[in-house]
Structure 1
């Protein structure tokens, strides 16, 4: 059994989530039949994600759903997106962030663990990436740092921004790899829908707890 590269692990997760275009999905299906190591990775993702699907209650779609599907299939002129299609777009974004976090943090997320929020931050040039997963039950945030490291005399620092409040430092990030960060009790009350941001600061973190360096990346925390 060989270790798969990160791109193949991500591909297996996207296959299980059902986010791949048809042609790519068909190619992956063929690969599963011929590549035992890749097939095992797909099975691992299914074991991680299937319990989440079992928690979803079936809901009958509104009648307008079929009208919209028919309109798109038959080429009827487009109308403004309805709530359904906007919801699907939002769900897709959440799935992508969810997938990104579990890929980087490498652990199954079961409903019994409590409500969770995820944030997947990527710098504008794609060179720096940080995935964060907050567990409401434990009050702990898991982070995984990847991509380019800061300069030797600099550090990346993570900030929580809740509404119009000033950013609050959550700590200096590992130069690479994972870390577990307990979130102070007062911040746990504002974690929902807050924004996480990474700045580049002097080694050891921003002086006086106030950001001084450039913004590297930011993203909202989304509930999953």
Structure 2
């Protein structure tokens, strides 16, 4: 019999893939707003699957690739054998795989892991999962139950060191994953990560001017 943890892991994977539907999806989203461990588990799956989202595009192999494949094949016989056709298929597949996968592996993003969950004072408004690389220089913000905001507003991310003024880390897309860099801002323990509702384009003063709608402390 599968444990509850195994079931939650499977549900998180299905949700991240977009295959969890109907009442099961609605029930899962309600649990996300209440169970931080489940939200972190979902964040791990979203981080794992993120590099594969729109990461490859169809490409036509250049002529030199076909020439190289032709030269690597054994001399053609008058009566082609099944083995020759299998070899040709394997060679073509290997060549095409190299064309598609080499750019992917050479341009992969840093490996990210869950850093903190940003909660709202109103549990019905969802959460944000913040993932980071090992040096906390790259952040990925993933909305859970994303909500639309007015066209004349923007969401802005802030780092608030203990006893210091907020430092802007950039604007956040309200409805989908956003990746930002922290620059020279150190995200040390005790730092609060917050999202405020600002005028379109961000705060005009360099400090939060609107309400803080999500926050969490490292």
Query: How does the TM-score come out when normalised to structure 1?
Result: 0.50
The gaps in structure 1 that reach 5 residues or longer are 1-11, 17-27, 30-37, 45-92
Structure 1 residue aligned with 2:180: 181
> Separation in 2 of the partners of 1:116 and 1:200?
26
CA shift, 1:209, in A, is: 1.0
Structure 2 residue aligned with 1:209: 206
Residues 55-74 of structure 1: matches in 2 within 5 Å? none
Say whether the 8 Å CA contact 1:140–1:183 is kept in structure 2.
yes
Structure 2 residue aligned with 1:130: 128
Summarize the Cα distance change of 1:165–1:40 in structure 2 as closer, same or farther, 3 Å threshold. closer
> Separation in 2 of the partners of 1:117 and 1:41?
15
CA shift, 1:140, in A, is: 0.6
The gaps in structure 2 that reach 5 residues or longer are 17-34, 51-109
CA shift, 1:174, in A, is: 0.6
Structure 2 residue aligned with 1:121: 118
Residues 66-105 of structure 1: matches in 2 within 5 Å? 95-96=37-38, 98-105=40-47
Say whether the 8 Å CA contact 1:144–1:177 is kept in structure 2.
yes
> Separation in 2 of the partners of 1:199 and 1:215?
4
* 1:15 matches 2:5: yes
> Separation in 2 of the partners of 1:40 and 1:158?
26
* 1:198 matches 2:188: no
Summarize the Cα distance change of 1:128–1:162 in structure 2 as closer, same or farther, 3 Å threshold. same
Partner of residue 142 from structure 2, selected from 141, 144, 160: 144
Q: Secondary structure at the match of 1:101?
A: helix
> Separation in 1 of the partners of 2:216 and 2:142?
15
Say whether the 8 Å CA contact 2:112–2:131 is kept in structure 1.
no
Q: Secondary structure at the match of 1:180?
A: strand
> Separation in 2 of the partners of 1:100 and 1:39?
9
> Separation in 1 of the partners of 2:161 and 2:3?
31
Structure 2 residue aligned with 1:153: 152
Say whether the 8 Å CA contact 1:97–1:119 is kept in structure 2.
no
Say whether the 8 Å CA contact 1:169–1:209 is kept in structure 2.
yes
> Separation in 2 of the partners of 1:100 and 1:215?
24
Question: Which one has the largest radius of gyration?
Answer: 2
Aligned length: 137
